[in-house]
Amino acid sequence: MLAEPPMIRPRILVIALALPIAAIACGTTSADHVRRAERHVSKKQYSEAIIEYRAALQQNGKQGTVRLALADVYAQVGDGLNAYREYVRAADLLPASVDAQLKAGAVLLMANRFAEAKARADAALIVAPRNASALMLLGNALAGLNDLSGALERLNRAIEIDPASGAALSTFGALELARGDRQLAEASFKKAITASPDSALARVALAQFYQSAKRDAEAEAVLLEAARIDPRNVHVNANLAGLYLRTGRAAAAEAPMTTIADVIGTADSQFMLAQYYVRSNRGQRAVAILERLAATTETYGRAKLRLAELAYTQGRAQEAEATVDDVLKREPRNRDALFLKARMLMLAKAYDAALGYLKAAAAADPTRAAEPTMLEANVYLNRGQLEEARDTFKRVLAIAPQSTSAELALSKLYAATGDKASALDLAQSAVDHAPDDGDAHLNLARCLISVGNANGAEREIRVLQDRFPPSAPVQVELAAMLLARKNVVGARTALVKALAIDPASVDALEGLIGLDVAQKDKKAAVERLESHLRSAPRDGHAWYLAAQLYGAIGDRERTEAALRKTIELSPSNLQAFARLGRLYGSEGKLAEARQQFQTWAARQPQSVAAHTMVALLFEQEHNPAAAQKAYERTLEIDPHAAVAANNLAWMYAESGEKLDVALQLAQVAASQAPEVPDFSDTLGWVYYKKDLPMQAFPLVFRAAAKQDANPLFQFHLGMVYAKQGEDEKAIAVLKRALALNPRFPGADEARRMLSELTVQ
């Protein structure tokens, strides 16, 4: 996506700094390139001026005045990175130039390089000890270094030297705001306007103060005054546009956004304007701008990709894909095109192809490899390849050590595979790197609850409650923490709050129903659940809860109805299929039930749920050949049908045939619902059958940890341990599997393996 419109930096100590960095007259040289550059600057032909100045520097790179002039042009066209480089180089070459030192200091300050900015201010003050702008620069740098008293002292001196300096007064106000004295800060901002009545930037500083205090009407009035004083000032228009966008007045933002694009006059400014039109739902205007940009070689690829994104979001996927393919034919190493192609393939669940493009995108621009590598890790995670996902998330952190998203993903992966200590370490690191990230605090709270640290979890939950708007997930975690402390009343209160915040929160609903059942108030549980179903009749998760609840109270008819509704709405819910199959089996009605579902399938031939249930009932009737055909028919209808893919993969794995096909099917199932332990176990067992125990282990371990009373899952974990040579662990787990059920499918194989291991 394009960057947001250029805004004044949020750091209040920098916004008020008014050091001049626009193009100014510079010392002349005898070089023809410089003379031509100056003529271009006078005519505002900035692109041509840049070419001439760079040509002059190719002949002699030590011309400080030329570098300073070039930096001014870069600043004029909004090329901050090149302006930054040239100002610093110019200041190095012109140590006695106050102007060069101040401009270099200004860009260093905006880059948060406060110590270097301070050095530039000190250098300027050696040449001009009473230069108010140098004292302002020094004050800002000291503030950035957390020396507020030193900063205020320098700013007071600047004001003494130049009492009419609105910039100094604005900065003084910003410092007082940083100290928490809002009243004195406001007074200083207003004094700055009185001292510099024609200063647009002084009004910007006051407007930003008003916005920080949520006084938007006053901020708008001040910005409109600034616009009347300097209607083409980029900072004024950027702040005005930002205010309009933030307050939901996108149409009003058009005039300042157009002014910014016109004043800057670069391709970046046109892309910015196009993005504004996209976000304000005026796609045709965006298309017109992007098509003009696509007609130029320099911006062809970037513009075409924006057009492709726009087409995709508007539902024209084929057109979008064709556009991206055209860009890649012309620019095969275009990193953004490779990345966008991968994202589209992921949405189509074409994971193998997506991986190839993601790796190509990372290789095309190693400096921006973190994002495609992160997406690569998520592909592995979706396919249930947990070991590959873990290693790839680690690669992201090697590229970007403070990537909160990678730390969170890896923390959650460790938690899912039972490594609570690693999960907690990464959760804490994510909070340290992103203290304002609500998801990071929520994840840390969950990890702390999992290791029994209720006090630590409470601390994180309180942070979430204090800093962020009311949140249903936060209330659910608060309930979990209170239940860990046996505070049932407090937990119920928290869950009720969660449902009040988000009536669709199934976690809160499930928690309350669980409390109702635990307190033997099944009537309240049923009333609560049925009330939810009346308001959300297509909530598949809630219907499965209803089936469990009706089963617990012995209502057979409503249990069946709820299960059938569940599989209709959530055809990837394996537990619902299995529970319905067991219900029919317990009544000896398998054939009758199968015929009903076959009738349903005949009436609705594209119904995944009906065909899957037919296959499942054939399995229970011990007719694997018919079941296999029914599963294959289901996958013809929907190649991503999770239950059919999982069960067919299992059948292939048990027969030892088509293991490559079984792997693909198991990955499809795991990618649809990676949290379902049955799918993880199937995928792990296929890896085991393919003699890949390293890949199998995290999957079967996760399934066995989630359902530690499932003898089949324990058996699979024991067999993987045995294949890895961890005999003691294998013996313990296999014995547990047999203790849970001496007759489970696989019990004979478990005894045979135990016999081999104990003989050794």
Domain-located, residue 181: yes
- Per-residue pLDDT for 23 more than 50? no
**Mean pLDDT score of the chain, rounded to an integer?**
83
SS (HEC) of 150-208: HHHHHHHHHHHHCCCCHHHHHHHHHHHHHHCCHHHHHHHHHHHHHHCCCCHHHHHHHHH
Provide the CATH number for the domain around residue 134: 1.25.40.10
Domain-located, residue 682: no
Give the end of a domain, one of 196, 221, 248.
Answer: 196
**Residue 562: CB partners within 8 Å, gap ≥ 6?**
543, 544, 546, 547, 550
Whole-structure pTM over 0.75, yes or no?
no
Residue 759 is part of which domain span? 708-760
Give the end of a domain, one of 178, 196, 214.
Answer: 196
**Residue 676: CB partners within 8 Å, gap ≥ 6?**
572, 574, 575, 642, 670
How far apart are the C-alpha atoms of 439 and 168, rounded to whole Å?
Answer: 40
pLDDT in tens, 218-242: 888 988 988 899 898 887 888 888 8
- What is the pLDDT, as a whole number, of residue 152? 58
| DSSP per-residue codes, 514-555 | HHHHHTT-HHHHHHHHHHHHHH-TT-HHHHHHHHHHHHHTT-
- Contact between 589 and 556 (Cβ < 8 Å): no
Domain-located, residue 520: no
Helices 283-294, 300-313: crossing angle, 10 deg rounding? 150
Domain-located, residue 723: yes
**Residue 246: CB partners within 8 Å, gap ≥ 6?**
none
Q: pLDDT-based confidence at 268, cuts 50/70/90?
A: confident
Domain-located, residue 9: yes
178, 181, 125: which is closest to 154 by C-alpha? 125
Domains contained in the chain, number: 2
Domain-located, residue 470: no
At 21, give phi and psi (nearest 5°): -130, 15
Q: pLDDT-based confidence at 49, cuts 50/70/90?
A: confident
Query: Mean pLDDT across the stretch 337-358?
Result: 90
- What is the pLDDT, as a whole number, of residue 185? 59
- What is the pLDDT, as a whole number, of residue 663? 92
Residue that wins the pLDDT comparison between 147 and 219: 219
- What is the pLDDT, as a whole number, of residue 210? 75
- What is the pLDDT, as a whole number, of residue 161? 63
Q: pLDDT-based confidence at 648, cuts 50/70/90?
A: very high
- Per-residue pLDDT for 434 more than 50? yes
Domain-located, residue 103: yes
- What is the pLDDT, as a whole number, of residue 82? 82
Q: State the Rg of the chain over Cα.
A: 33
Give the end of a domain, one of 175, 196, 217.
Answer: 196
